[in-house]
Structures are given as C-alpha cells and as structure tokens.
Chains A and B, each alone.
Chain A
Amino acid sequence: MKMNPHFLFNTLQNISVLAVQEPHSAILMLTRLGDLLRASFRKDSQQEIPLEAEIALTQAYLDIERVRFRDRLSVLVDIEPGTEGALVPTFLLQPLAENAIKHGLRVSNICGRIEIRGVLDGGRLVLTVADNGAGISTTSLQKLQMGGIGCTF
C-alpha cells in the first residue's frame, strides 16, 4: 500500500508551518502521519487488521485533514459491541472518509459530520461511512462501479 506523495509532502509542509505557530497541532500531525506511514509500509497491502485498528487509522487520517484544512469536522464512530476484532482489509474505510471530505463536505462549506457505523447482519459485518455534505446525483451514482478497495489519500 503506497501513500500518495502529494498527501505526504503537503502534510510535511503543514507540520513545518505549525511547528512555529501551533506546536501542539504539529505534534498531533506528526504522530498521526507516523501511524499512517507504519500501516502503509506493511508488506502485504491486502493484509487484514481488526476493525478497531482500521478505525484508528481512519481517525488518524481524519485528524490530519482536520488540521490541514482547518475543518470543523466531527466524527462519530458507532460499531456494534463484539465486532471490534473482526478482520477487515487495511485501508478499507480511509478512502471512503477521504471521499466524504473531498466531495461531500469541503464543497458545501458546512460543519461537517462523518459517521462510521458497523452492524452485524446475520453472519455479515456491514460497515457504513456517511456524511452530511453535498451528496451525489443519481446519474453520477449510477456511473460508479462499486466494489473496489484501495488507498487513495
């Protein structure tokens, strides 16, 4: 799993600015970036990790974005007790959170809210990432090919 170099270098530039003006934000960004880099250095990109760890990664990503774009972003995580240890592919949720920000929240200039939910449905784990942003037109939705996974940040 390779990290997008634009994300990496822009985050580094943010850290260099914040190191002077807001050291606490700089440290927060640095530790979250460390978490993401560690996960992306794992050899097997399809490696599965516990849902709990995947959610932590997604939150690390959202923490960085919140500082980077001065977003007024709130995140709600609600997973059904007992599913924390369920194995999911690494970077399953992060691209969805990224899309929620880029295409949902940043264009609509509102107080953004992202909800990550996990429920058990029979023997299956159903994960949902929702935002209160601009939404998507039905035609665009129809054009989308659903079903791929990948790291896009």
Chain B
Amino acid sequence: MNIHEYQAKEILKKYKVKIGEGLYANSAESAVEAAKKLQELTGTDIFVVKAQIHAGGRGKGKFVGTEHRGVMIAKSIEEVREKATQMLGNTLVTIQTGPSGKVVNQLLIAANVYQKGATEPKELYMSILLDRGTGKDVIIASTEGGMDIEEVAHSTPELIFKEFIDPAVGLQGFQARKIAFNLGLQGNAFKDMVKFVTSLYEAYKGSDASMMEINPVLKTSDDQILAVDAKVSLDDNALYRHPDLATYRDITEEDPLEVEAGENHLNYVKLDGNVGCMVNGAGLAMATMDVIKLAGGEPANFLDVGGGANAKTVEAGFRIILKDPNVKAILINVFGGIVRCDRVANGVVEAYKNIGNINIPIIVRLQGTNAEEGAKIINESGLKVRSAVILKDAAKLVTEALSA
C-alpha cells in the first residue's frame, strides 16, 4: 500500500527520525493556518507547498495548462495561500502519473530547511527495501541526493553504497557508522547520521514497510541530518497488525473499478486494452493477457477470480469488466482443479442472463475437471458465448471476435 508523504513523515516522527517540520492542509485557509503555526514553531519565513499524491516527480511535474509545479516555494504566508489555491482541485501531471495526471486535494506545508549557515547544506540519498535475491533488507545510501537514483546507479555506481542486514541480528552499529563515513560526514553530522540510519531502520521494521525512500536526506548548514521528502510503501499482508497504519489508505488514489473489485474479493488491475479477461490464478491470468496480445488484441485488465470461482464471483467479475467502455470482447479462461468447470459454466450462463444486454462476444475456455460437461453447458445455452477447450483455440476465437 502506498501512502502520502505527510503520512510517511508521521511514521518517521513516531520512530524519532528527524524530519523537516511540516503540517497537513486541504484548503487554502488551512494552508495559511499551517504556515502560521510553522512560523511560530520554527521561526521560518519561507515555506514549501507540496502536493500530496501517490506519484513521484512532483517537483518537476506541472499542473495542466499552467507552469505551476507540484512543489513550490512560498516566501510569505500570503504566497502560501496563492500557491495552495493554484494546486488544490487541479490536475498535476508528473513522469509517474501518466498523461491524465492526478487531482490534488491534499497538501503538505513544510518549513524551509535550506537556510544558509556555517556549512553548505548537502543533499544525500537513502532507502531501505527488500533485496529479493538474498532475502535480506538492504540499506542503499548515496552522496547524490535529490536526483533519480536509478540514473545515479547507472552513471556513477561508485557513489552508491549498500549495506545488507542480517535477519538474525538486525542493523549493527558498525554498519550505521560505515554508511555515515561513506557519505563523507564528520562531527555532529556524522553522529546525527548514525542516529538517523538506526531510527529509519527501526521505522522500516516496526511499520512493516516494503520500501522507505528518503530523497533527499539533508545535511543542514548547522550539521543536522533530516528527511526532506519521504516515500513509503507498506506491506499489505502485514497491515492486520497495524490498524493505525491501515487507516492511511486513500481510495481516491485508486481506480474505482479496482476498489469495487476488491470489495468483491477479486484481484483486478485496470489496463488500457480492448479485450477483457477473467481467469483463475494470477500466473494463468498474466499468461492469458499475453495470449490476448498475441491474438491481435490488447488486454483490458488483469482479473484473478481465485481458487473459489463460482456463479457469484463470475457475475461480479463480468459486471466490473463490462463497466470498461473500451472492452470489445471477453475471454474467460479457467483451468479447473478443485474448481469444477461445469459449475463455472453454469455460473457464466447465470451471470449472463442476470446481467442481460451483453452485446460483445464472450469466449469461454474451460479445461481440467469436468471440462467437457462445461463446454456442453456453454454450447447448449443458446447464448452468444463460444467455448474452447484448448488454449490455442481460445486465442483463435479472440482473433475472430476482434476482426468480426
């Protein structure tokens, strides 16, 4: 589950990871209130107004039809109002949102932390995530903060430092020190970084995060280390033990059809193609999407109805797929194991009748337990549904349906 920057910073704060102070706002008024409070709290005269959406690249992203960015500096409280008004209710397009962009309804008002002082402020990079190859957590740090880390990894791999965490003992002191030395820090900044890494790892572990990325981590002019931005994903499978973090879910960030599918216990991902599909099992579902593509179509969705496909789940799946106006044909692909094909076939026929007015071709491929009985039910139903047993034949029927 992805969460917003302001929520991520709430988690960091709880684990005593130093952050640049900031306050949440969802209107121009509350933005001004937040700025006033921040001024009292920190004495700052300069503020950063940050759009809160689940996508990166906000600083470079622009609001549709304007030159306004997703992260803007405000040099007075009045300017905070102005920038907030420019953002709220408008659509922000970044490199990660896709061309349609995302509507901004929430803001984070942050205090400026780049003051001039005894030393130059310096932007660093840090993230913690799972290394799938070793099955261990890895801390990635770099002297090149504020940039796209994949770019840094590509052009200057020697500036990226990795520290793998032994599952049995966790992050050790020598590792935290090594990271701080690798980042070229000294004095108070060094000490602060050791604390920062240690607390960040505790936050990562304690909240069952699947990824924490702090970019940039700032060494301030007075040699403090703090998180300026924070991107955090949480492990969905572990949310049951974090009821407080589960409330961070923002369904306005999700596709409405995906939300509806989730409520029906269906695993659905909306895509841009013209052939819908409904499959049992995630691997076979992806493979079915590939079959659609090879047959001349484009998959309109991923939909795994799971191991317990029945009339009810099939109908719910149908209804969700049919809500997508781009869908020109539907391929149902079920390999019956525990699920019996005749039951699935009955489910398809029943759902078809219940929904009515289905004007696009449906192809049902049933294989496995009671496949022949299933095909018979489909073929004798009198509905505009075609059946196949072999995957190749199903692909041919998709091609035919699209060219008809």
**Do A and B form a real pair?**
no
Instruction: List chain B positions with a Cβ less than 8 A from chain A.
Output: none
